[in-house]
Amino acid sequence: MTDITHPEVFHGLPVHTLPLPDPAGTPVRPPAASVAWRLDSQYALTFEETWQGFLAEVDTAQVRALLIGPWWKEEYVSFEPVVEAIVSDAHRFPALRALFLADVESEECEVSWLEMCDITPVLEALPLLEELSVRGGGDPVPDEEHLRLRPVRHRALRSLRFESGGLPGHVVRAVGASELPALEHLEFWFGTDWYGGDATVADLAPVLSGAAFPSLRRLGLQNSEIQDEIAAAVASAPVVARLDTLSLSMGTLSDTGAQALLDGQPLTHLSSLDLHHHYLSEPVVSRIRDLCARADVRVDLDGVDDLDLEDDEPRYVAVSE
């Protein structure tokens, strides 16, 4: 399993967590545009208190990147008030270009326990946003909040990432139905059906056809229980010819999926191929490594620790709960 941690850099800026008020004096704060600001309410303040303090203490007109950490004070609560606050105060962030919704690591809350909501209003309220990362997704518990997205038209967005232990298929379909002409980087962590990850290869059709996002150069279809099926679809997908980097990592990729890649269209034009956390035999690993070496393609083939292909144990994605 892979632990989810906080990024140290976001949108090219060092991450600075907004500190609590210092009883001994006012904390020294970096210039607003020099860091990516991370808000953390866990165990100390309500999110409303954290948010209002941020608006009062930082020149938000200069803020370029923002990360929302734990937004609950005690019990886990819905992300909806966070979305409402961002949308309500969007006019105070004219320079904002990057947003990370739910920068929460495993020790604070497991990714599939995060009570997400409809994030569409954020994209609608921030038309100049260039990068959006979203952590959290679905869960089979009926009375909890889940990630939702409606198809959107957004001309500035260049990077869109979903980190999830169970990404709902309707989110994948909404992305594919969106108009994102500037999108260069798209990343899905699909997760498992147990945690609501019910996306299928058919849901990826607009992306794989190349029709949906004409500027796409970096694609990640990762952390999936159906990684072999995804690999087989990628092997003949028109979008691959124009990609610079491709990731099919973190999932249950076996020799079946890898063989489909080897038998499919050339991947030698890529600068990077990421297949780490796989279930491949050594002969197949060697074939892929040799192919990439001849074409000068950077490849990550780090496998699953203590993997024994001879046993009949279940195979797991890197991030689920």
The pLDDT tens digits of the residues spanning 73-94 come to 878 888 999 999 999 999 999 9
Residue 108: is its pLDDT beyond 80?
Answer: yes
Residue 286: the pLDDT is: 97
- Res 21: pLDDT: 54
Provide the pLDDT for residue 118. 95
| pLDDT above 70: percentage of residues in the chain | 91
Integer distance in angstroms from the first to the last C-alpha of the chain?
A: 10
Is residue 37 within 8 A of residue 10, CB to CB? The reply is no
Q: Which residues contact 109 (CB under 8 A, 6 or more apart)?
A: 70, 76
Q: How far apart are CA 161 and CA 38, in angstroms?
A: 18
| Whether the Cβ atoms of residue 304 and residue 275 lie closer than 8 Å to each other | no
CA nearest to 7, candidates 137, 95, 98: 98
Contact 262, 289 (CB under 8 A): no
Q: What local confidence, expressed as pLDDT, does residue 23 receive?
A: 59
Q: Tell whether the model's pLDDT for residue 305 goes beyond 70.
A: no
* Lookup: tokens for 261: 């890649």
Cα 141 to Cα 163: distance, rounded to the nearest angstrom: 19
pLDDT at 106: 87
What is d(CA 298, CA 260) in angstroms, rounded to the nearest whole number?
20
pLDDT score for 101:
97
What's the whole-number mean pLDDT along residues 201-226?
97
Q: How many CB atoms lie within 10 A of CB 140?
A: 13
Beta strand pairing status for 159-163 and 9-10? unpaired
Angstrom distances, CA of residue 32 to CA of 6, 18, 135: 20, 11, 24
Residue % of the chain over a pLDDT of 90: 80
Question: Which tokens hold the place of 240?
Answer: 């691959």
Average pLDDT over residues 217-231: 98
**CA-atom Rg of the chain in angstroms:** 20
pLDDT in tens, 174-197: 999 999 999 999 999 999 999 999
Position 308 scores a pLDDT of: 64
Give how far the C-alpha of residue 284 lies from the chain's centroid of Cα atoms, to the nearest Å. Answer: 28
β-pairing, 185-191 vs 159-163, is parallel
Closest residue by Cα to residue 245 from 117, 159, 163: 159
Question: How confident is the model over 11-21, as pLDDT tens digits?
Answer: 999 999 986 55
Structure tokens at 52: 């209002």
